[in-house]
A and B are shown apart, each in its own frame.
Chain A
């Protein structure tokens, strides 16, 4: 993927997974997913939003609502 900061984000994701900081990870996925969508990368964007969505659901985070709406608008969620 030729997106600026990819390496930096990738390392952050790995770190947060390792430390089981899943709420921060959900936010990171959300941010990264939105960036990809903004670049017109629909599949990749929805992939990372989905990752964020599942973690947000698990941790009862209000971000789940926002992510759900985006996924639904792209017909990726019912």
Chain B
């Protein structure tokens, strides 16, 4: 790494008062994107999809995670495992689209076949036509590459490098903070999931999500009942950051109906709600009656797919009376989250200005964003030079 890039990172890693933001190359440059892909996305626990993408045993779903072909599999026992979506023979991509498999995963090229636990089951004609064994083909050594997988709040997390601590350790501070919500959460169904295809680097979505400074200008509607002074910063350096509110109000339906609360919550949650980014790429909301997750799927330095998914304390199938409210809630959140899109796309455009120096943080208002930048800077520094 060149001296200039190192000096830039040193500025990012300082205390917020003196720090600069990450410079332009972290948003527009392919080589930096690839370094961050490995250091930030692959070496940590990142979200790639939902358990409800593959609801039934035998369901498989391919995911392009920052260019890496992955395959989410729900086996016949109902457990989820992620594999590299690449055949061990000649490297063919195994599965192109979501489907349900009753038996094996058959490679579309020469039909090597894998069990849903990834083990290699059949190698047709590998020793010549009609001869399916060969002493040099050791099936035990040729299973699909397993990716460390953990499911939390129905989000499928992966640690691609296999070098991170367990997910529960990695996210322990957040699990502790939100321990009261460690209870079943149910996806609201098709209306409760919507994607945005956004022309920005994935980090800009994180940076915007974890600060409340922009609320009065970007979400004036939200601001009318959620004033800036009712918000507080959430900062857990090295792990997550975000914002909380003290004046959360439940959405109410035409007939006065409300969503049922999660069980046994303390009084704080009557009007408290928290919006946190678990680094690197999962933006979460926790509230008394529902929550959501936004999974950022980077598509290149300047393009990101945002998957927005809303979860409830109850199984929507059991409450047809709340169907209209679930729809109304989706429309409302979609509206709010859409208001952020021109901002993140605008910051992306702004980063093509060659004199932009990473920007100046407000020590009072921008510190959660700086917590994220410092995490990025620290991780990159440690990867380049070891933990110094």
Contact = CB atoms under 8 A, between A and B. Distances in A.
B130 A53 contact: no
Interface in A51-68: 51, 53-61, 64
Interface residues of A, number: 25
A64 B104 CA distance: 11
Contacts of A56: 103
Q: Which of A54, A59, A64, A71 has the most CB of B within 10 A?
A: A54
21 contacts: A44-B129, A44-B130, A46-B129, A47-B129, A50-B132, A53-B132, A54-B111, A54-B124, A55-B106, A57-B104, A58-B102, A58-B105, A58-B106, A58-B113, A59-B102, A60-B102, A60-B103, A64-B103, A76-B131, A77-B132, A77-B133
Contacts of A27: none
Interface residues of B, number: 18
Contacts of A51: 124
Given A58-B103, A76-B132, 7 more contacts: A44-B130, A50-B132, A51-B124, A56-B103, A57-B106, A59-B103, A76-B130
B101 interface: yes
- The 5 closest A-B CB pairs, nearest first, are A60-B102, A46-B130, A47-B130, A60-B103, A58-B106
Nearest to A41: B130
Contacts, number: 60
A57 B122 contact: yes
A64 B105 CA distance: 15
B122 A53 contact: yes
B48 to A, nearest CB: 25
Given A50-B125, A54-B124, A57-B121, A71 B103 contact: no
A46 B131 CA distance: 7
B101 A50 contact: no
